[in-house]
C-alpha cells in the first residue's frame, strides 16, 4: 500500500507539532510500512540466494549484510547435523581465513 510508505512524513509530524492522537496513527502506519519493507527485503534476499552456487560438500549457509559497509560482527548459525557434529567448521568467502570454529557441543 503506497499510502503507508510516506505516512510518517506528514507535515506536522516531522517538526513535532502534531497532536498526540496523530502521532499514534503515524506510528501505526510506520509499523505497517516497516513490516511491508521487511517482507520485500526477505523476498529479495531469498531470490538472490536461490541463484547462488551452493554446491558444496556439507551445508551451505548464506549470510546477508543489509548495510553498505563491511562488517566484522560475529554471525551465529544453529545447524542440525544428521549424524554427529563435525570436529570443525570451515567458512569460505572473502574473510574466511579469519573465521574457523571447532565445536564439541554440536553447535
pLDDT tens digits along 50-63: 898 888 777 778 88
- The pLDDT of residue 39 is 92
pLDDT tens digits along 8-29: 566 667 677 878 888 788 888 8
Query: What torsion, rounded to 10 degrees, do the Cα atoms 81, 84, 55, 96 define?
Result: 100
- The pLDDT of residue 87 is 79
- The pLDDT of residue 38 is 92
- The pLDDT of residue 40 is 93
Cell numbers 549484510: residue: 65
Cell numbers 551465529: residue: 76
CA–CA distance from 73 to each of 11, 30, 83, 98 (Å)? 38, 28, 29, 12
In the chain, DSSP assigns E strands to: 88-90, 100-102
Amino acid at each position: 500500500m503506497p499510502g503507508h510508505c510516506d505516512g510518517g512524513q506528514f507535515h506536522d509530524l516531522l517538526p513535532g507539532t502534531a497532536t498526540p492522537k496523530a502521532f499514534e496513527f503515524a506510528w501505526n502506519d510506520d509499523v505497517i510500512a516497516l513490516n511491508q519493507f521487511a517482507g520485500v527485503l526477505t523476498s529479495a534476499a531469498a531470490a538472490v540466494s536461490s541463484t547462488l552456487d551452493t554446491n558444496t560438500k556439507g551445508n551451505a549457509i548464506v549470510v546477508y549484510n543489509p548495510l553498505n559497509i563491511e562488517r566484522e560482527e560475529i554471525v551465529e548459525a544453529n545447524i542440525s547435523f544428521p549424524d554427529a557434529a563435525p570436529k570443525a567448521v570451515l567458512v569460505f568467502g572473502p574473510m574466511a581465513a579469519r573465521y574457523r570454529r571447532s565445536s564439541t557441543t554440536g553447535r
